[in-house]
Structure 1
Amino acid sequence: MRLKDKVTIITGGAGGIGRGMAMAYVKEGAKVAIVDLDKEAGEKVLKELQKYSPDSLFIQQDLTDRDKLSDIVEQVADKYGKIDILINNAHASKMASIEETTQADLDFSFNTGFYPTFYLMQAALPYLKETKGKIINFSSGAGINGHTNQGTYAAAKEAIRGISRVAANEFGPFGINVNIISPIAKSEGIMKWAEESPEYYENMLSGIPMGRLGDVEEDIGRTAVFLGSEDSDYITGQTIMVDGGSIKLR
C-alpha cells in the first residue's frame, strides 16, 4: 500500500497505459480520478477500479477544451480535499511525413498532448505545493529517436519533456517531483498501429532487447507507482525509459 490515500489524477485513463496505471495505483491504495473523453470506456474502467477503491472517480472531459482543464482539478480537489499526484498521459496524433503535415495535424497533437499537460500542471500546482506532490508526464521514443511520419507527435512529446525539466527546476523548491516516462507497451493504440504498419511495428519490436512489449499495468503501471511514491523523492527532471532497453539515454 505504498500509495495509501494518495489522490491521483490520470488523464487518458479509460484505456491502454492510462488504465494500466490506474489499476496499479488503486491496488497500492490510491484514490484515483481518471479523465477521458470516452464515456463508455471510462465508466467500464471505473467499475474495475471501484473493486479495489470504491471512492474512485471518472470525469468525462475533452482535454482540448482549455477552459475546462482547471475544472478537472477543482472537481478532484473538492471531492477529496487534496491532490497528491498528477499523471498527464493522454495524447493523440495523426501520422504523416513532414512534407504532408498540415497546421491542423500540428494543432491536434499539441492540443491533446502538450497543452493539457502544461495547463493541468499549472492548475494543480497550488494543491501539489500543499502535499509536496508528484507529477508524471509522458514522452516517447518517437521524439527521442525521431521516428519517421511521427513529426507532430514527436514535436509535442519533446515539448512535454522540455517543459517537464523546467517544471522540475521551478517546483523542486516546493518539494514537488516532476518526472517523465517514455514507454513501449502493448496498448490498444500500439496494436492498432501494428495492424496498419506491420513492417514498421516488426522493426520496432526487433529493436527491443527484452524481446517483448511492456505490460501496461505490470511494467508501466509499476514504474508509475514508484515515481508516485516516497521511494522516488530524490528523483526529479528525469526521463525514465520503460521500453525494454530500446533507447539508452546518456
Structure 2
Amino acid sequence: MRLQGKVGIVTGSASGIGRGIALAMAKEGAHIAIVDVNEEKGKETLAEVNKFTEGLLFIKNISIKENADKVVDEVVKKFGKLDILVNNAHVSRQVPFVETTEDHFDLSFGTGFYPTFYFMKAAYPELKKSKGKVINFASGAGLDGQPTQTSYAAAKEAIRGISRVAANEWGPDGINVNLISPIALTPGVEQWRQNDPKSYDAMINKIPLRRLGDTEQDIGRVAVFLASDDSDYITGQTLMVDGGSIKLR
C-alpha cells in the first residue's frame, strides 16, 4: 500500500494506459479521479477503482483550460488535498510528414500538450502543499522520430521540454516531475494486431523483451513507483518503459 491515503488525478483513464495506471494506484491505496470523455468506459473504470478505494469520475473535455481548474477544485473539495497528477490523455493522427497539416498539430497539441500544461498549472498550488508528484508522458515517436508521427512526436517532445523546466523550477517546492515513455498493449494496439498481424509481429521482434507492456502490471506499477516516496530523489527524468526498445544516453 505504497500510496495509502494519497489522492491522484489521471487524465485519459477510462481505458488503455490511463486505466492501467488508475487501477494500479487504487490497489496501492490512492483515491483516484478519473478524467475522460468516454462516460461508459469511465464508469467501468470507476467501478473497478471503487473495489479498492474511493474514486471520482469527471467527464470533461480537457482541451478547455477551465476544466482543469474545475477538476482540481472538485478533487480537493472532496478529498482535502492532491498528491499525484498523471497527464496521460492524448489524441493524434498518423500521416506522412508532407501530408501533415496545421489541423493535425491543433489536434495533437490540443488534446496532449495543452491539457498537460493546463493541469500542471491548476495543480501546482496543491502539489506544493503536499510535495506531490507529476507524471507526464513522452513517446518513442518523438525520441526516435517514428515515421507518420509528426504532430504526435512534436507534442510529446514539447511535453518533455516543459516537464524538465517544471522539474527545475518546482524542485525547491518538493515537487517531482518525471515522464514515462511506454510501449503497451492498449485496445487500439490490440485492434491493429487483429487487422495487421504481420506488421504487429515485426514490431514485437524489434523489442528486446519480445512483448508489449501490460497497461497495469508494467506501465501502472512504474507510475506507482514515481508517485510514491520511493522516487523522492528522481526528477526531470524520462523512464523508458518499452521493453528495451530505446536506450537513452
User: So what's the TM-score if we normalise by structure 2?
Assistant: 0.97
- 1:44 maps to 44
Structure 1, unmatched stretches of 5+, are none
- Aligned residue number for residue 34 of structure 2: 34
Shift of residue 69, structure 1, vs aligned partner: 1.7
Deviation string, structure 1 residues 37-69 (Cα, Å, up to 9, x no partner): 00011011111111111x211111011122222
Give the equivalent residue in structure 1 for 2:20.
Answer: 20
Q: SS at the partner of 1:109?
A: helix
Query: Residue 91 of structure 2 aligns with which residue?
Result: 92
For residues 56 and 3 of structure 1, the distance between their equivalents in structure 2, rounded to whole angstroms, comes to 14
Residues matched between the structures, number? 249
Distance in structure 2 (CA, Å) of the matches to 1:99 and 1:68:
34
SS in 2 for 1:246: coil
Q: Distance in 2 between matches of 1:249 and 1:201?
A: 24
* Structure-2 change in CA distance of 1:208 and 1:133 (3 Å): same
SS of the residue aligned with 1:106? Answer: helix
1:62 matched to which residue of 2?
61
User: What residue is the counterpart of 2:221 in the other structure?
Assistant: 222
Which sits farther off after the overlay, 151-160 or 188-197?
A: 188-197
TM-fit CA distance, 1:190: 2.0
Match of 2:143 in 1: 144
CA distance, structure 2, for counterparts of residue 134 and residue 200 of structure 1:
37
Cα distance in 1, alignment partners of residues 2 and 75 from structure 2: 21
User: Could you tell me which residue of structure 1 aligns to residue 104 of structure 2?
Assistant: 105
CA RMSD in angstroms, aligned pairs only: 1.1
1:1-250 residue pairs with structure 2 within 5 A?
A: 1-53=1-53, 55-195=54-194, 198=197, 200-250=199-249
Q: Output the TM-score relative to the length of structure 1.
A: 0.97
Q: What percent identity do the matched residue pairs reach?
A: 58
Question: Structure 2 regions of 5+ residues with no counterpart?
Answer: none
Paired residue secondary structure (1:21)? helix
Residues 46 and 28 of structure 1, relative CA distance in 2, 3 Å threshold: same
The range that moved more, 222-231 or 69-78, is 69-78
Deviation at 1:194, TM superposition (A): 3.8
Higher mean C-alpha displacement, 197-206 vs 66-75: 197-206
1:203 Cα deviation from its structure 2 partner: 3.2
Question: Displacement, 1:202?
Answer: 3.3
Query: Structure 1: how far apart are the matches of 2:158 and 2:193?
Result: 26
**Equivalent-residue separation in structure 1 for 2:19 and 2:49 (angstroms):** 9
